[in-house]
Structures are given as C-alpha cells and as structure tokens.
Structure 1
C-alpha cells in the first residue's frame, strides 16, 4: 500500500510510520513529483489537489485534507469518482466559537470604538454609549455542525437565547431553544440580536444572506460571519450597514480575500474585520493529526473512515 503526502513534517511522518510500518509513505515537495508518484498511490494527504492530479491517480481510494471547507475541491473529476474524501471536521470548533464570542462581546461592550479612542489617547466616559448586556439576547446560528454546536454551547453559558437552523435532522441539544430547517431562516432572523454564519459554502448557501434577509433582520442586529465570504451578499451587506438596516458586522471572511484596499468595509466604524484566522490555535494541529492517524489505522484495516465528506452535499 502506498500513501503520498506533501504536507507532513518529519516528526509526524515518523509517527505515522510507527502506526503502520507496512505502508510505503512517499513524501513529495514539488508538484511534478506529486503528479508522478500519485499514479500508483492508494491514498493522498495534502494540498494542491486539482482535476489533473485526480485524473492521474489510477488507484487512488482516499484523500485526506487538513482543513474543513472543501468547496474548492468540488470539481467533477473528484465528485464523480469513487475516491473517499475526508477533512478536518470537528477540529476547529472550539477556537472558532471562541472567536465568535470575542466578536459578540467586542460589539456588546463597544470595544471596537474604545480601542480607537485609546489609539487617539482619548479618555472619555460616554453616558449614551450603546453597550449591550448579552444575557437574555437572542443568537441565531446558521448551521449547527461542529462549529455551530460549540457557538451554541458558549452562548448558552452567557445566558443567551439560542436559535438555529440546519439542513440535517439531528436531535435538538438542550441548550438550543429551537432548531429549524433552512426554510425557517427568516423566522430566525426576525428574532435574532446576533446572527452567526457557521454553515459550509454549498450551492444552496451561496448568497444565503442578501437584500431580503437584511430587510428581515432587526435594525439593532449584528451579523457575524466566520464561514465563507460568498455566503453573504457583500454589496447587500455594505448597503445594509450604510442604511442602518443592521447595526454592525464582524467578519473573519470576505469575498475576495484579502479584502481590496478600496472596499468600504475597511472604513466602517461598525465593522470588525479579522483576516480569516478564527481557526488558528496551537491546539488545532494535534486534533487534526489525530483524525489523520485514526483514519490511517482504519484505512489500513479496511474499516469505515471518520470525517467523511458527502461530495454531493459539499460537507
């Protein structure tokens, strides 16, 4: 059995070789080497997955990637193949949920405005500062997967009322008041003080939040997007912020990335932008490596893999 990889450190490689010493691991550093070695490989771990690479792989049965969003891999050569695709689902939920709560709290305590005044050396206590006590506020979560569940757990700890939508029929957690299908999106938006986008980018979620949705949202609501920029209609978001249809937006993702210098979102006081780093954490790498090792053992034993992507659903 042969596995090709282009993203394992020498330390990690030594560990996986100890787990399955009978497997031939081939490490490549150049694309041309990967293309050559993939021809007779049984599995591939890494980056740079293209239609050409998939077509070159005559024996390939499994691809493992170390990230969650896989929309860039949804080309026909892979989707229509028998190759199993696994990702890093469940490894970034904690850190991304903490990032979401940090954005919510920053808006609630107007830290985005206070930090600006600090840079200007202004000590000012404003009696009419629009602070919010988030206990009792309603959070609407779009997508109750690994990330959404972690957001819901933390929001509940802050005594927030939690609503959510998700296309998959799952048992409603106790700390979620209502869990609906996506066709109830507007019902959720009308009630939410904070709307958090946690769903994957799929054909169904492209432009999921647009002009109509901003019209439905409360004027006092905040939008938090840590998923993908294309899920939110960005021109509609800019218009909604300018027209005060919503109060603010916390964006860890934009379209495109990086956001061009001339984009008006940069200069808006009611917007917090972070450079797609919500998923960063020193604790993520060990969790991702665990998924890889667990799947390696399962693959070698011909057992079902974990974190398998439904290529027809894009997640």
Structure 2
C-alpha cells in the first residue's frame, strides 16, 4: 500500500503516519524548495501520485487527482469539503468509486473557543476599549449606551448548525449561563447543552429571540449565501452576528448595509469570501466592500484552527481514516459525496 502525503511532511510526521498504518506501508511526500510546506507543487508531486492507493492532503495541486488512477481513498485534512467540490474532486471520486473522509471535529475545540472569544470581544467592546486606552483617552460619560458592555448572563445564543463545533460552543455558552437555541437539519436530534432545537424552516423564530447568533453550519449548496436580508431583518437591532463557518454563507451587501446603518450591532468573523476566476471578478480575498474595516466588526483571517495541538490532531485523524479503510472498517469520518458532509 502506498500513501501519498500532499504536503512537505517532516520526518517526525512521516514516522508517526507509518507507525499508525500496517507494516510495510510506503509513505511518500514531496521534497524541494517551498514557500509554505502545506502548499505542495505539481512539479514535486506528479511522479508520486500515479500509483498511490491513498492520499492524505492539506491542499491539491491542479492535475494531481487525474493522475492518481490507483486511488482508493482520499483523506482531507480539513472539515469542510466545499473546496474539493469546487475543483471537481468530489465528482471525480464518485465516478471512480473513491472514498472520501475528512477530519471533522479535529479543530472543534479551537474553533469553538474562537467563537466564544468573538462573542465576548463583541459584547465587551474589547478592541474599542483597548484602542482608547492605548491612545490615552477615556470613554465618557460612564454608562453611556455607546460605551456600555453587553452581557452574556441570561442572554440567548442562537446556534445555526449544531455539529461537533456547534455542540462545544453550546457547552461553553452554558458556562456563561446563556440560553442556547439550536438550528439543525434534523431537529429531532437533541444536544445536551441546547435548550431547544429547531429545524431550518424555523430559523427566523430562533433569530428573533437571539442576542448573539453564531453561524456554524457546513458550507453546502443549500447553505451557500443563505444568510441574507431576510435573516438580518429578523435579528434584534441589539444583536451580534458571529461567523466561524464559511465566508460564502453570508451575503455581503446586506451585511455591509446592516453594519453601516447600525441596524446590526456588530459582526465578527474568522472566515471570508474567496473570489476566483470563473466564479467572480475581480479575484481576491476578504470583503470587496471592506466589511473587515468597519468599526463595529472584529476579524481574524482563518486563524481559529491555528492553535496548540491542532496540527498534530489533524494528521493523526487523517491517518486514522486511511487505517480504518484498509482494515476494512467503516471510516467514522467518511463524507457523503452527495451531501458534502
């Protein structure tokens, strides 16, 4: 069995992968000069892909999957597979009978903590008060509406998407004595830390009650651009919106207008749209309207998973997918090629 790592793996990483797979497994990885060791090039991988039985990947150079004629299983070291869908990989996998697995939940702790950081930072106006102090100014008068911090205690958090990350966000929210309302495709599936679960057809019922709304839904064709004017209008004008899912879930123009007019109290996001040729013009990242520069917005750029322990867990879980497949076991993190999660 030959396993191809689509990143410039270290000797320690290769040894860890080998030790988790059957004896005699060949583990190969590209070598050469690189800018980022997670962005392997076609030139460095083209001679490794043709006879690979399995691929573990952070990224995929154009053309490599077409060359991997022997591929049986692909382990994606991310939770969302929307990038694979856009590059046509999932269609190719369906055509060739290739199994797909991800590492959903591997970064759940880190992303959930980032979500709660955003909730607290928005509520407490952390960035604004930090900057005022650094400039030697004071917020006056005391208890003025525009200076007063929000509270989490006895407030309602609307959680849109209650998967592994959403479950942990709900757990953290309960630690602040918050009421948690969940929205998921299957509302009959309960959660220990969610006070009431709703279906997608009841989304606006949840939004209208929420002081904080956290988007943690998977990015699928059904959720792409689904948060628009109607959803923003349903929110309380005092509410905050937090996105730790995908940038393309939220419609940019209605969000910008709501923030500029202060119809929405604030927004925080770790994820942003990616504009690509063939899908949008001009290309680029971040908001074309400059949402990330507005004063009532707090931002990071895909940093939620950039935390202690995450990389090691990603590789361990990605390797576990391969081990389960070749042992003839069900992959616990197999992705439905039809549903996209």
TM-score range, shorter chain: over 0.9
1:292 to 307, 312, 318: 318
State the shift of 1:50 in Å: 5.8
Residue 63 of structure 1 contacts residue 84 of structure 1 at CA under 8 Å; is this kept in 2? yes
State the shift of 1:55 in Å: 2.4
Aligned partners of 1:248 and 1:311: how far apart in 2? 36
Q: Which residue of 2 aligns with 1:28?
A: 30
2:112 is the alignment partner of 1:97 = yes
Aligned partners of 1:81 and 1:144: how far apart in 2? 32
Aligned partners of 1:48 and 1:269: how far apart in 2? 34
Residue 291 of structure 1 contacts residue 306 of structure 1 at CA under 8 Å; is this kept in 2? no
Change (3 A) 1:202 1:247: same
TM-score (norm 2): 0.86
2:240 is the alignment partner of 1:222 = yes
Q: Deviations over 1:52-86 (max 9, x none)?
A: 33222222111112111210101222344311111
1:140 to 141, 158, 172: 158
Change (3 A) 1:159 1:80: farther
Change (3 A) 1:43 1:170: farther
Q: How does 1:252-271 map to 2 (within 5 A)?
A: 252-256=270-274, 258-259=285-286, 263-271=289-297
Q: Deviations over 1:217-238 (max 9, x none)?
A: 1111100001111100011101
With 215-224 and 290-299 compared, the bigger mean Cα shift is at 290-299
- List structure 1 segments (4+ residues) > 4 angstroms apart after TM superposition: none
State the shift of 1:271 in Å: 0.8
1:281 to 299, 307, 310: 307
Q: Secondary structure at the match of 1:22?
A: coil
Structure 2 segments unaligned to the other structure (5+ residues): 32-40, 275-283
TM-score (norm 1): 0.93
State the shift of 1:51 in Å: 6.8
Change (3 A) 1:231 1:71: same
Change (3 A) 1:139 1:53: same
Residue 217 of structure 1 contacts residue 245 of structure 1 at CA under 8 Å; is this kept in 2? no
1:127 to 118, 143, 147: 143
Residue 214 of structure 1 contacts residue 246 of structure 1 at CA under 8 Å; is this kept in 2? yes
Change (3 A) 1:267 1:38: closer
State the shift of 1:169 in Å: 5.4
Aligned partners of 1:277 and 1:80: how far apart in 2? 35
Aligned residue-pair number: 314
1:117 to 132, 135, 148: 132
Structure 1 segments unaligned to the other structure (5+ residues): none
With 161-170 and 99-108 compared, the bigger mean Cα shift is at 161-170
Aligned partners of 2:188 and 2:16: how far apart in 1? 36
Aligned partners of 1:239 and 1:198: how far apart in 2? 22
Residue 157 of structure 2 contacts residue 214 of structure 2 at CA under 8 Å; is this kept in 1? yes
Aligned partners of 1:122 and 1:17: how far apart in 2? 58
